[in-house]
Amino acid sequence: MKAVVSIIMGSTSDYPVMEKAANFFNEMEIPFEVHALSAHRTPDEVEKFAKNADANGIKVIIAAAGMAAHLPGVIAAMTTLPVIGVPIKSSFDGLDALLSIVQMPPGIPVATVGVNGALNAAILGSQILASSDPVIKEKVIAYKGNLKSKIVKANEELKLKEFKFKTN
Amino acid sequence: MKAVVSIIMGSTSDYPVMEKAANFFNEMEIPFEVHALSAHRTPDEVEKFAKNADANGIKVIIAAAGMAAHLPGVIAAMTTLPVIGVPIKSSFDGLDALLSIVQMPPGIPVATVGVNGALNAAILGSQILASSDPVIKEKVIAYKGNLKSKIVKANEELKLKEFKFKTN
Amino acid sequence: MKAVVSIIMGSTSDYPVMEKAANFFNEMEIPFEVHALSAHRTPDEVEKFAKNADANGIKVIIAAAGMAAHLPGVIAAMTTLPVIGVPIKSSFDGLDALLSIVQMPPGIPVATVGVNGALNAAILGSQILASSDPVIKEKVIAYKGNLKSKIVKANEELKLKEFKFKTN
Amino acid sequence: MKAVVSIIMGSTSDYPVMEKAANFFNEMEIPFEVHALSAHRTPDEVEKFAKNADANGIKVIIAAAGMAAHLPGVIAAMTTLPVIGVPIKSSFDGLDALLSIVQMPPGIPVATVGVNGALNAAILGSQILASSDPVIKEKVIAYKGNLKSKIVKANEELKLKEFKFKTN
Amino acid sequence: MKAVVSIIMGSTSDYPVMEKAANFFNEMEIPFEVHALSAHRTPDEVEKFAKNADANGIKVIIAAAGMAAHLPGVIAAMTTLPVIGVPIKSSFDGLDALLSIVQMPPGIPVATVGVNGALNAAILGSQILASSDPVIKEKVIAYKGNLKSKIVKANEELKLKEFKFKTN
Amino acid sequence: MKAVVSIIMGSTSDYPVMEKAANFFNEMEIPFEVHALSAHRTPDEVEKFAKNADANGIKVIIAAAGMAAHLPGVIAAMTTLPVIGVPIKSSFDGLDALLSIVQMPPGIPVATVGVNGALNAAILGSQILASSDPVIKEKVIAYKGNLKSKIVKANEELKLKEFKFKTN
Amino acid sequence: MKAVVSIIMGSTSDYPVMEKAANFFNEMEIPFEVHALSAHRTPDEVEKFAKNADANGIKVIIAAAGMAAHLPGVIAAMTTLPVIGVPIKSSFDGLDALLSIVQMPPGIPVATVGVNGALNAAILGSQILASSDPVIKEKVIAYKGNLKSKIVKANEELKLKEFKFKTN
Amino acid sequence: MKAVVSIIMGSTSDYPVMEKAANFFNEMEIPFEVHALSAHRTPDEVEKFAKNADANGIKVIIAAAGMAAHLPGVIAAMTTLPVIGVPIKSSFDGLDALLSIVQMPPGIPVATVGVNGALNAAILGSQILASSDPVIKEKVIAYKGNLKSKIVKANEELKLKEFKFKTN
C-alpha cells in the first residue's frame, strides 16, 4: 500500500483540526501519509519532501498552516502536484492564514479551502484523485450523495418542534 | 391553518438562533413553517421549495445561513417572493455570512438583517405581511409600541443606582 | 396618481446612485416620490415624513445613506412600514454605511441591500408590493424572467471569442 | 445640586461598561444624571431629552450604544452641546458601533472615544467642563497627575521579577 | 486678538484637508492658530506646545495625523485641554489613523471625529468653546440651524427630476 | 477536439479578467470551453451544465464570480468534478467574493485562488489534469520551469541601475 | 554586568506576554533590563529613558503596547537605537496595536513583530546584537538550529497515530 | 567595496517602491546590492542567497514582497542575519502582504515596516548597522536630526496662510 495523498502540517497542535482529513481518507480507503514539516524551521526537509513527492507516488498534497502561513505556497513552488492549502485559525480569526495562502502570486497557485477546512480539503483531494480513478470516483459520488441525509434528519427534527402556529 | 411564512435554515445547529423567529410568529399568531434545506447539500429540495412557495400560499421567506451563505440568494433566484436573509455567526464574527448574503448582484435582492438577527427578520416579515393584512398590522403596531417598555424599565432600574453626585 | 413608494436620500450627491431605483419604478409604472431628508440635519422633517408615510398611502420606504448611515434606522423607528436601506459608498468602501444600516438592534429591522444597491432596493420594494398587488406581481415575474437575457447575450458574445483550442 | 453631565445608554445591559463613567464623576464630585433612552425604541423621549438638555443645565452629554449605534449621532443632531460617543462592544469587536458613531456626516460631530471607553468619555467630559470651571480643572489636573502612579507601581513590581541576567 | 484654538498637523500635505477647519473658525470669527508639528520628528516642539497651550490661552486643540497617528494622543498626554483628533486618510482608507487615535488607553482620551473630518472637528471645537462663551454659542446655534438649507435645496432639486410615475 | 476544461463566468464584464485563463489553456493546447452562466439569473442553465459536465468529458471547472459570489459553490454542489473558484474584484477589494467562495460549508469544497487570479486558476486546473495526463504534465513542468526567466530578467535589469555605492 | 537590551511595557498586565522575551534573554545569557513606562501617562520618563538608552549601553529596545500603541514609535522618535515593537492583543484581535506600531511615518521606523510576538522580538533583538558580537552569534545559530527539534518530535508523534490506510 | 546590505525584491515592478531604500543607502554611503529573487519562482536562488549572505559580508537583508508575501519569512528561515520585511501594496491595500510578513510563527522573526515602507526599512537597516559602526552611527544621528527641517519648513509655510482670524 503506497500513499497517494500527503497531509502536511507545521506542528502537532494543528492535528486536532487536520485529523478530520485523515479520518476522511481512512474512511474512503485512500492510502495517505501525515507529516509535520515547517517552511521556516525545517526548510530543507520541506524541500526534500516537495521535490520527491511526485516520484514517490503522491498525487495530491494537503498543507495546513496558521498565521503567516507559508507552507502551502512554499511546497507549491517546488512541485507540479496540486497543493491544497488549509488556513489554520490562530489569530485574526484565521484571516492572516487565509490571505497568506490564497493570495499567491501568478504562477504558483494553491487550492485554498476555508479556515480550518480540513474535511473540505480531503474531499477536494478525493475529487482530484477521482479524475483518473473510477473506484475513488464511485466513493466520492456516494459520499456526496449521503450529504443530504444530515439535512433530511435535521428537517425531521425540526418537524418535532411544537408551536401552536407552526404548520409542519 | 396554512403557513404564510417559511423559515429555512441549513441545519439544526442554526435552530437556537432561529428559534426567536419562530417564537415571534407564534406569539403574533401568524402561521409559519420551518424547514432545514441546504443550498449545497439538497439543491433539488431547495429548488422545489422555492419554485412552489408562492403557489403554496407563502408570502415571505426567511432564510438563514452561515459562512459562504448562499441559501438566501439561491432561494431568491427562484421566486419573486420577498426573501429575508439572516447571516449566522460561525467564523469571522459573521462577516463572511453577511457579505455572502447582502452583496447580491443586480436583479436578485435579499432583504438582509444583522448577524444572528432572527428576531428582526421575523419582525420585518410581519411588517411586509402587514402591508396587506390589517389584523397583522394591528399586532405589529402594538408590538412596536411595546418596545418602549424595556427601555422605560431600564430607566427605572438606573434610577435605583445610588451615587452621592447622581441627581436622578 | 398617488405614490406607494418613497425614495429618501440625504443629499443630491446620492442621486446618481439612487436614480436607478427611480428608473426602475418608472419603468414598472409604480408611482413613487423622491425626497432629500437628513436624519441629522432635518430630524423634524424626517419624523414628520416617517410618522405620516403610512397614512399618506406609502407602502414601502427606500432610504439611502452613507458613512454613519442613520437615516434608514431612524425612519424604521417611526413607522411600521417596511424600510429598505441602501448603504452608499463614500468611505471604507461603504463598510461603515453597511454596518450602520444592517446591524440594527432587536425590534427595529431594516431590510438592507448591498453597497450602492439602488436597483436591488427597488426590485425588493416591488416584490413586497407584489404580495398584495397582482398587477405588480405580473410585472415582477416578467422582469425577473428577463434577467436571463443579459446572460444569454453574454454567452453569445463569448462564443465569438476565437481561440485555437476553444471548443465552443 | 443640578446635573451638568448626562450619561445616556440604550439599555441596562450597557451599565456594567458605563458604570466607570458614573464612578468617575462621583469621585470627581461632578453632579451627573443617568438615563436609558433608545434612538430607535423611544425616539420621542430622546428628542425631548436632547432638545431640553441645554436649558436643563447640562453641559456635556455622554451617549453609549452598540451595533448600529445611532444614539450619539441622533442626540448630537438635536443639541449644540458637545456629545461624547462610546461604542459598546457586542459584535464585530465593536467595529460596527465605532464606525456608526465616529463616521458622522459633515455638520454633526460626535466626540468619539475607544470601544467600551466609558472612563475616557468621563475624563474627556471633565476636561470640557474644566474649560470654564477652575475647580474641576484643578481636579482634572490632579487626576491626570496621579495616572503616573499606576505605572510607577508597575515598574516597582517588575523590579521584583528575578532573572540571573536581569540587571534591574 | 489671541488664539483660543490650535490646529496642529504633521505636514503641509495635511493642509488641504485641514483647511476646512481653518475656514470654519475664520467664518465663525474665532481666533485660531495653525502649526505643523510632528510627534516623531519634532517631539520637543510638540512637548513645548502641549505643555504651554493652556497658559497661552488655548481652550481646544485640534490635532490631525495619518498612518500610525500618534500626534493627538501624545499631545493629550501633556495637557488637560480637550484634544480633538482628526484621522487623515493615507493608507487602509484611514483605518490605521482612526484606530491609532480613537483607541487611547484609559486616562488619556482623544475626542475623535471621522476620517478626514476637519470640518466636524472645528464644529466640535466650537461647541466646546460655546459652553462658556454665549457669543460663540449663538453662532453655533445659527450654524447648526443653517444646516437644513442644503438639504432643503437638495429636496427642491429633486422635485425638478421628471419621471412619468414620479408624484412629487 | 472535446473540451476538458470549462471556464464559467457570470457576465462578459468578467471576461477581461478571465481571458488570462483562456490564453493559458490555448497556449498549453488544452481544449476548453467558455460559458456565461449565472447562479441567480439562469439557475436552470447552471444546473444543466453542472449535472452534465462530467458526462460531457469535462475534467475541471473554473468558475468566476464577484460580490456575493455563489456560482462556484452552486456548481460544486451539483458535480463531483473539482471546481476552482476565482473571486472577481468589484467591491471591498474582492473580500466579499473571496469569503463567499472560500468559506464553503463542510462537504462541498471549492478550490479557491486569489482575487482576480484567473491565471493561477488555469495553472491549477492544468496541474489537476496533469495527474492523469503525461503530456499535460510535461507542459506544466516546462511552464513552471520557465517562471524563473522573468525573475532572472528582472535581476539583470536591476544590475543596470547605477548607484555609486551599489556593488552589483 | 550591564544591560544591552531594554524591555519596555506599558503596565504589568503586559508582563505575562513579555515574560517570554525576558526568559529568552536570560536563557541566552544576554543582560537585559525591564521597565514599565507609558507614552501617555509618564511621557517624561519615556523621554528620559529613550534619550539616555544609548549612552547607558543599551543596544536594542523592545517596546510592547496595546490599543492605540504609541510607545514604540514615541521611543523610536528619541533614539537612533533599533526599536522592536510588539503589538499586544486587547481589542480588535490586536489589529489596532499592530497598525499603530507598524504604520510609522517616513523617518522613524519601528521593527514590528506579530501580535503578542514577545519571543520573536527577543530573537530579533539577539540577531541584531549578533551582528557585532560573535558569542551571541554562536548562541543564535545554535538556537535557530534547535528549532527543528520541535518539528521533528511532532513528526515522530504523528507517526504513532494509527489508521488502517495511513502508510507512515 | 563590499555590500553590507542586500535589498531583495520579487520583480522589477517593486523597484519604484524600493528605489527609496537604494537612494538612502547611496546617500549614506553604505555599500549595498540589489537582487530580484522569488520565494516561489526561484526558490533555489533564494536559498543560495540566504545561506551565503552572512559569509558574503552582508549584515542586514531587506526583503520586499506583495500579496501572499513569503519572501522575507523564507529568507529569515535560512539565515541568522536580521531580515527587514517591506509589505508591497497590490491588493487589499497591502493588508495581505503585511499579515503574511509580520505574523511569523515563533522562532523566525521578520522586522516588519509599514506598507510600501522602503525608506523606513533602509533607515532601520542603518540603525542596525550603526550598533557596531560609529561612522554609520554619526550619519544616522545627522539624518534623524535633519528630519525636523521638513516640519519646520512646513510650519513656515503655514504661517503664510492668511485668514482674518488666524493669529500666527
Among A48, A71, A99, pick the best mutation site for testing chain H contact (most H Cβ within 10 A): A99
Whether residue E153 contacts residue E29, with contact meaning beta carbons closer than 8 Å, is answered with no
How far apart, in whole angstroms, are the C-alpha atoms of residue G51 and residue C53? 66
CB contact under 8 A, B105 and F66: yes
Residues pairing with A88 in the sheet: A66
Alpha carbon distance H79, H50 (integer Å): 6
Q: Which chain E residue's Cα is nearest to G99?
A: E96
- Strand duo B111-112 + E60-66: pairing: unpaired
Mean pLDDT of chain A: 95
Are C38 and E151 a contacting pair at CB < 8 A? yes
Structure confidence at residue F147 (pLDDT): 87
Beta carbons of E151 and C30 less than 8 Å apart: no
Count other Cβ atoms within 10 Å, centred on residue D159. 13
Residues of D in Cβ contact (< 8 Å) with C43: 47, 74, 77-78
Nearest Cα to C60, choosing from C23, C31, C89? C31
Interchain CB distance below 8 Å, H137 and G59: no
Which residue ranges of chain B lie beneath pLDDT 50? none
User: Which chain H positions have a beta carbon within 8 Å of G124's beta carbon?
Assistant: 82, 109, 111
| Per-residue confidence band for F67, with pLDDT thresholds at 50, 70 and 90 | very high
- Cβ–Cβ of D105/C10 closer than 8 Å? yes
Percent of chain A with pLDDT over 90: 84
Evaluate whether ipTM surpasses 0.90: yes
**Tens digit of each residue's pLDDT (9 = 90 or more) over C48-101:** 999 999 999 999 999 999 999 999 999 999 999 999 999 999 999 999 999 999
Nearest-angstrom CA–CA distance, H157 and H140? 27
* Band of pLDDT at residue A109, cut at 50, 70 and 90: very high
Say if the Cβ atoms of B77 and F43 lie within 8 Å: yes
- Residue F146, chain H, CB below 8 Å: the answer is no
Is the Cβ–Cβ distance between E90 and G99 less than 8 Å?
no
pLDDT tens-place string over residues E83-130: 999 999 999 999 999 999 999 999 999 999 999 999 999 999 999 999
Which chain C residues are closer than 8 Å to F92 by Cβ?
Answer: 93-95, 115
- CB contact under 8 Å between G41 and D161, yes or no, is no
Closest to B102 in 3D by CA, of C20, C85, C10, C74? C85
Domains and CATH numbers, chain A: 5-133 (3.40.50.1970)
pLDDT at A149 over 90: no
pLDDT at position A148, please? 86
The DSSP letter of residue D166 is B
- In whole angstroms, give the CA distance from residue E150 to residue B137: 36
Tens digit of each residue's pLDDT (9 = 90 or more) over D61-113:
999 999 999 999 999 999 999 999 999 999 999 999 999 999 999 999 999 99
Report pLDDT digits (tens) over C26-49. 999 999 999 999 998 899 999 999
Q: Which residue of B103, B124, B129 is the best one to mutate when testing the C interface, meaning the one whose CB has the most C CBs within 10 A? A: B124
Digit-coded pLDDT (tens) for C2-24: 999 999 998 889 999 999 999 99
Whether G147 has its CB under 8 Å from any CB of chain A: the answer is yes
Strand order of the β-sheet with B60-66 is B32-36, B5-9, B60-66, B83-88, B111-112, C111-112, C83-88, C60-66, C5-9, C32-36
3-state class (DSSP) for residue C164: coil
Q: What is the DSSP string of F56-120?
A: TT--EEEEEEESS--HHHHHHTT-SS-EEEEEEPSSGGGHHHHHHHH-PPTT---EE--TT-HHH
Q: Is the pLDDT of residue A145 over 90?
A: no
Quick: pLDDT tens for H39-62.
998 999 999 999 999 999 999 999
pLDDT above 90: residue A11: no
Cβ contacts of C114 on chain F, cutoff 8 Å: 67-68, 91
Which residues neighbour B25 within 8 Å (Cβ) at sequence distance 6 or greater?
A163, A165, B5, B7, B31, B32, B122, B125, B126
**Each residue's pLDDT tens digit, G2-42:** 999 999 998 889 999 999 999 999 999 999 999 999 998 89
The Cα–Cα gap between G73 and E96 comes to 14
Mean of pLDDT over chain H: 95
Provide, rounded to the nearest whole percent, the portion of chain A with pLDDT above 70.
100
pLDDT > 90? residue H109: yes
Q: What is the pLDDT of residue C115?
A: 98
Take residue C151 and report the three cell numbers written for it: 446572460
Q: What are the C-alpha distances in Å from G7 to residues B17, C1, G36, G47?
A: 46, 75, 9, 15
Instruction: Among G95, G158, G167, select the one facing A2 at the smallest CB separation.
Output: G167
- Residue H5 pLDDT: 98
Range G104-134 burial, b when 16+ CB lie within 10 A, else e? bbbbbbbbbbbbbbbbbbbbbbbbbbbbebe
Of the candidates E167, A24, B129, B96, the one whose C-alpha atom is nearest the C-alpha of residue C132 is B129
User: Whole-number mean pLDDT of chain D?
Assistant: 95
Report chain B's C-alpha Rg in angstroms. 18
* CB of F123 closer than 8 Å to CB of F143: yes
Compute the radius of gyration of chain D from its Cα atoms: 18
Do A and G make contact, counting contact as 3+ CB pairs within 8 angstroms?
A: yes
- Phi and psi dihedrals of D121, rounded to 5? -60, -40
* Residues in chain D, total: 168
Q: What is the pTM assigned to this prediction?
A: 0.97
| pLDDT band with cut points at 50, 70 and 90 for residue G83 | very high
Tens digits of per-residue pLDDT, F105-156?
999 999 999 999 999 999 999 999 998 899 999 999 999 888 888 888 888 9
Return the residue of B nearest to A95 by Cα: B92
CA distance F149 to chain C (A): 26
In the structure grid, which three cell numbers stand for residue B78, read together?
Answer: 427562484
Question: B42 by DSSP, 3-state: which?
Answer: coil
Q: What is the pLDDT along chain E (168 residues), one digit of tens a residue?
A: 899 999 999 888 999 999 999 999 999 999 999 999 999 989 999 999 999 999 999 999 999 999 999 999 999 999 999 999 999 999 999 999 999 999 999 999 999 999 999 999 999 999 999 988 999 999 999 998 888 888 888 889 898 999 999 998
pLDDT at residue H152, rounded to an integer:
87
Q: Residue F98: what pLDDT?
A: 98
Nearest to H49 by CA among F155, A109, A37, G147: F155
- Biggest alpha carbon distance in chain G? 67
Cβ–Cβ of D82/E121 closer than 8 Å?
A: no
Greatest C-alpha distance within chain D: 66
